[in-house]
Structure 1
């Protein structure tokens, strides 16, 4: 049972919610149902059956199984569409559309059309024992992820998130010999399981038998949109079927196996959700209540982005969701027969329940909050996330182990302070990081303050306010958004700026990422400095799949991976790095402030801090030692340098030399100690 009325009704009958109908006045939608055969794929139509208005449930159309006469349906897997009249501005007339609430869609059985809008995959359902059941294309009824021991999962302040565009998980070739992204959920599973070769990873030594991401030590996996997108063989945010796993990536059963594996390893699952625009069936079923064309409604405040005055919302080839629209209708979420509902709000809250309940999602990243442009909706969605999370653990969920993150590159911290979101992508962190590893300042600050604000985001002043807590900021060196100045992959960024010793600067970048205040996020492939082979237009998003074969190069990339893995383990376990306290106790003015030292973690009460010393210059420190004054507990003999895994003799504490562009990370804390 789901906390969503329409999902439970789908067990008993075929249902379609059309708020615009309000009665039976419109032509009834028609169920077109049949079976699919393979080799070749073909649809064998059984019949066409009109749905009937539910009467008291305003806008709900239903077809009970027992009313299908004669009774053609036997136990088995069925493919179907709904026949409706296109309500979009294009008005294509009668067309077949996928069930907007379908848990599985099959592009192998789709409506034939050169028009992408009319190209609709079949929805898939299973009849068993007189009821309808959600299933995969082959009829498998997925075993939902087992209950997770919450104690095994990491707290927000010790997260290291790995951002993985799932379909980028391998380089392949299409019929023209071009690289394509052909990864699947099972390929992602292979990154965590040495016993899983993956669908297409068996040929990659860096993955085969190694469990690469488990070895890296990240404790949160963020999948870019895992819901089904129309676009095939390339990544994107063209979500079309919000309840279904992506057809190219794999089945619900594949997704469940991945979730069970990472949860057993104490790794949280984040998923990316696109709600600014969609390529969904409601674009045709009931356009006016669910979608808006901003260019056609310039006097409607729903047409404009938030935080960018006068900027129209962008549908990116799809249709912007309409968030300012209330109608009297059946409420698909609560089941109320007739109430005032906002259709798009209800729809998105419904598919949230599917992902939270069926896949054990431990956090969400909301794409392009400015393009959603309705903070009341975003707050409602965030609050529903938390309600479902708490319900998962019987009302006693740990609030430190769930998070709703928003991406809004203008960084309106008011959305966090007012409770619209829990956290934001910290775009300014990337800007500062890329400046300091070139020896430059950023944001109007001098070099010292550029570094200070990089290390402690709470020092920043953004629109007159600041982050109040490190978990409110997600820091990253690189993300999937490479458009614009200094956004490309780290390797390409450094080479483009004349830096050929990539390993040295990459290590410095990761030392800063994994010891700064905030939640560190690693973009897939950066842990071994993957590079862009075909993304040459920086006005577009990243298009290269991750080339994991580069990781085991036997040289600097392999060494970089080991370095990053060491610091990831340190970040996820060291108590001091879960605290926000930061104290800069040394800025070497004799070297233009380019050598700095700071303490992370609270002092006193027996707490063991972390000390970082970094050289942001082209010169090694002269001589055999470099004295750092004011070093805490200098005379202790239990200091160690983390990245090299070595003990520091008492006489060398705070005196070790630094190479150019080197950071050293010290602590007296030991894991388990």
Structure 2
């Protein structure tokens, strides 16, 4: 394992206790490296072991603009010096092609000394995109809505990537400076203020980061050294070099980035994008080494941090403990729950949805997390997955929609545009009543009608055209008809902004109240709050489209009755308890139910076990084992 000081950042321009700038950059194959400080001249760096160049100087102050000047050896042919931004820059005020700016995060004023994260099982996540969440599209815009999120019941916000990208319109997965916070969002200072404000309200902050590729514009890493390898390919081109020659410097670059977010920005958890596209066949996988360093950081600071993976391999190695040979991640996104749920709700079985049969697979995901845990996958044309028998519910993040599943539709339609009002309530319940960590996608809680489209603001016309063509090719797999909105158009971006006036209107006001009620119920009911996958039963009937989810804890039982069909269904309550008491019914008038709510044969809210009840079409009824629940 690399010897990395978890207590401080060593790459880029940093300031020591004496106020001097310590400059360090990795460029193992270059003949000469110097730093050019705007309006102050140029300072040569001295080459050290393992390919690092460094200097200590009092000529650089916080706020100064600078670039590195790189010169190759004459034997490599063209050796005209290149001026490049700092790959570990904390700030790019002029965008990815301009000067870097020296910052000193130790000067941030924090008021969260009493904060030490939440238990992971208490996370109720809310994914958001900074640019479209608020009218002004900044960190300050998010801060102004924190009281709203607190009232909703959210305990953790998950921010889509903020690494510097070209222009001011991007999902964030085209970032090219992992250390620099997007200037148009408010930069490093803006993120600091947002995190501090979240912690003051008891809200954790999860940051989405991308370590599987770099964006196509403003990516100058190759000018510094072998950051990429020809050994493997990813959907975005050459893989990042985590196990080839000179990979030690690359590994350090990303490990220090992880530590920076936790240590210097007080981020509570990182969600790592598509870690299945990270290629590393070395003896200590980079994800495992990251976890080892995070553990060391937590030992030093006493603060708690989590690592969450987006991974579609159905392989528990990513979330199993280090001592069991796993990579030690605390949780993972689980797309298969989403796919099974959407097909159950009527989504067309095209593309990767073709692997899912709806209700049977939804029931399996409630019980087993992974739908495919060793069976043959027709979509993949192979046997796929492994069982997740010993992984607790808190290790799986579930959702009915997210940025990918909405934004990767050609027209970016949200659930509100695809299913009925009744089905929207049912989908919310299916997620929030699950034995997993629930995640909402911004605006779903009030049935937002604006789409979330794919948008960029690249400056290279050829690249823009390539992105347009790539989007068209992607939708061919889903047999989509029509033309995709132009991702480069500002109008595409503006169409994707939330409409904050909607929660004051109907039916948006009612469904927002429905979400608040479900979240409150999840927090207050022990059977729902405790994520014990062993204390759970699922019964389903594919013929009539019903599913009964039974969860319990210390004698407290909750029964969730779901009808995904378009017809009224009659079901017999199981005999787990002698009597059931109704807590919530989505078909009731108070939830703008279009029909009479579910009734027992006696018409009472107190229902005996084994009694038959009628479930209205596309409805959810929740019962508890205690009248006082």
Superposition TM-score tier, normalisation by shorter sequence: 0.7 to 0.9
Q: Which residue of 2 aligns with 1:380?
A: 289
Alignment of 1:170-185 (within 5 A): 170=134, 182-185=136-139
Q: Which residue of 2 aligns with 1:356?
A: 262
SS in 1 for 2:315: coil
Q: Verify: 1:528 aligned to 2:452, yes or no.
A: no
**Structure 1 residue 188 displacement after superposition:** 0.8
**Structure 1 residue 86 displacement after superposition:** 7.4
**Structure 1 residue 33 displacement after superposition:** 1.7
CA offsets 1:549-582 (integer angstroms, 9 cap, x no match): 2532521122111111211222244322222235
Alignment of 1:217-228 (within 5 A): 217-228=153-164
**How many residues were matched structurally?**
544
Q: Tell me how far apart the structure 2 counterparts of residues 427 and 79 of structure 1 sit (CA, whole Å).
A: 43
Q: Verify: 1:558 aligned to 2:475, yes or no.
A: no
Q: Verify: 1:80 aligned to 2:66, yes or no.
A: yes
Contact 2:340 2:357 in 1 (8 A): no
**Structure 1 residue 79 displacement after superposition:** 1.4
CA offsets 1:184-207 (integer angstroms, 9 cap, x no match): 100111110xxxxxxxxxxxxxxx
| Shift in CA distance, 583/30, structure 1 to aligned 2, threshold 3 Å | closer
Q: Tell me how far apart the structure 1 counterparts of residues 45 and 34 of structure 2 sit (CA, whole Å).
A: 9
Q: Which residue of 1 aligns with 2:403?
A: 480
CA offsets 1:290-329 (integer angstroms, 9 cap, x no match): 223xxxx3xx2xx23xxxxxxx4524xxx642112344xx
Q: Which residue of 2 aligns with 1:491?
A: 415
CA offsets 1:389-448 (integer angstroms, 9 cap, x no match): 343317xx5xxxx43221123433333345223332211111111111229997777665
Q: Which residue of 1 aligns with 2:422?
A: 504
Q: Which residue of 2 aligns with 1:314?
A: 236
Contact 1:86 1:284 in 2 (8 A): no
Q: Verify: 1:515 aligned to 2:433, yes or no.
A: yes
Contact 1:551 1:561 in 2 (8 A): no
| Shift in CA distance, 33/503, structure 1 to aligned 2, threshold 3 Å | same
Q: Verify: 1:628 aligned to 2:558, yes or no.
A: no
SS in 1 for 2:312: coil
Q: Tell me how far apart the structure 2 counterparts of residues 669 and 287 of structure 1 sit (CA, whole Å).
A: 65
Q: Tell me how far apart the structure 2 counterparts of residues 83 and 268 of structure 1 sit (CA, whole Å).
A: 40
Q: Which residue of 2 aligns with 1:658?
A: 615
| Shift in CA distance, 387/64, structure 1 to aligned 2, threshold 3 Å | closer
| Shift in CA distance, 226/459, structure 1 to aligned 2, threshold 3 Å | closer
Q: Tell me how far apart the structure 2 counterparts of residues 562 and 258 of structure 1 sit (CA, whole Å).
A: 26
Q: 2:89 aligns with which of 87, 102, 109?
A: 102
Q: Tell me how far apart the structure 2 counterparts of residues 633 and 52 of structure 1 sit (CA, whole Å).
A: 74
| Shift in CA distance, 651/464, structure 1 to aligned 2, threshold 3 Å | closer
Contact 2:273 2:309 in 1 (8 A): yes
CA offsets 1:42-77 (integer angstroms, 9 cap, x no match): xxx23x32323155x5533334335x6xxxx7x773
Q: Which residue of 2 aligns with 1:452?
A: 363
Q: Tell me how far apart the structure 2 counterparts of residues 432 and 388 of structure 1 sit (CA, whole Å).
A: 38
| Shift in CA distance, 266/631, structure 1 to aligned 2, threshold 3 Å | farther
Alignment of 1:41-56 (within 5 A): 45-46=39-40, 48-54=41-47
TM-score by length of 1: 0.71
Contact 1:406 1:423 in 2 (8 A): yes
| Shift in CA distance, 457/51, structure 1 to aligned 2, threshold 3 Å | same
Q: Which residues of structure 1 form unaligned runs of 5+?
A: 35-44, 111-118, 127-132, 136-140, 172-181, 193-210, 305-311, 328-340
**Structure 1 residue 377 displacement after superposition:** 0.9
Q: 1:190 aligns with which of 137, 144, 160?
A: 144
Q: Verify: 1:149 aligned to 2:73, yes or no.
A: no
Contact 2:558 2:624 in 1 (8 A): yes
Q: Which residue of 2 aligns with 1:335?
A: none
Q: Verify: 1:466 aligned to 2:387, yes or no.
A: yes
| Shift in CA distance, 599/97, structure 1 to aligned 2, threshold 3 Å | same
**Structure 1 residue 91 displacement after superposition:** 6.8
| Shift in CA distance, 666/257, structure 1 to aligned 2, threshold 3 Å | farther
Q: 2:301 aligns with which of 374, 392, 398?
A: 392
CA offsets 1:246-303 (integer angstroms, 9 cap, x no match): 1111132322221122222222111111111225765254232x223xxxx3xx2xx2
Q: Verify: 1:30 aligned to 2:56, yes or no.
A: no
Q: Tell me how far apart the structure 2 counterparts of residues 584 and 228 of structure 1 sit (CA, whole Å).
A: 46
Q: 1:324 aligns with which of 229, 243, 261?
A: 243
Q: Which residues of structure 2 form unaligned runs of 5+?
A: 1-5, 374-383, 455-470, 476-483, 592-602
SS in 1 for 2:176: strand
**Structure 1 residue 660 displacement after superposition:** 0.6
Q: 2:534 aligns with which of 581, 595, 614?
A: 581
Contact 1:477 1:509 in 2 (8 A): yes
Q: Which residue of 1 aligns with 2:461?
A: none
**Structure 1 residue 532 displacement after superposition:** 4.5
Instruction: Give the CA RMSD over aligned residues.
Output: 3.7
Contact 2:92 2:99 in 1 (8 A): yes
Q: Tell me how far apart the structure 1 counterparts of residues 51 and 85 of structure 2 sit (CA, whole Å).
A: 18
SS in 1 for 2:99: strand
Q: 2:330 aligns with which of 422, 441, 462?
A: 422
Q: 2:342 aligns with which of 426, 429, 434?
A: 434
Q: Tell me how far apart the structure 1 counterparts of residues 535 and 410 of structure 2 sit (CA, whole Å).
A: 28
Contact 1:159 1:572 in 2 (8 A): no
Q: Tell me how far apart the structure 2 counterparts of residues 221 and 564 of structure 1 sit (CA, whole Å).
A: 16
Q: Which residue of 2 aligns with 1:641?
A: 584
Q: Which residue of 1 aligns with 2:558?
A: 610
CA offsets 1:495-540 (integer angstroms, 9 cap, x no match): xxxx5xx211111111101112222111112222223447496748
**Structure 1 residue 383 displacement after superposition:** 2.6
**Structure 1 residue 78 displacement after superposition:** 1.7
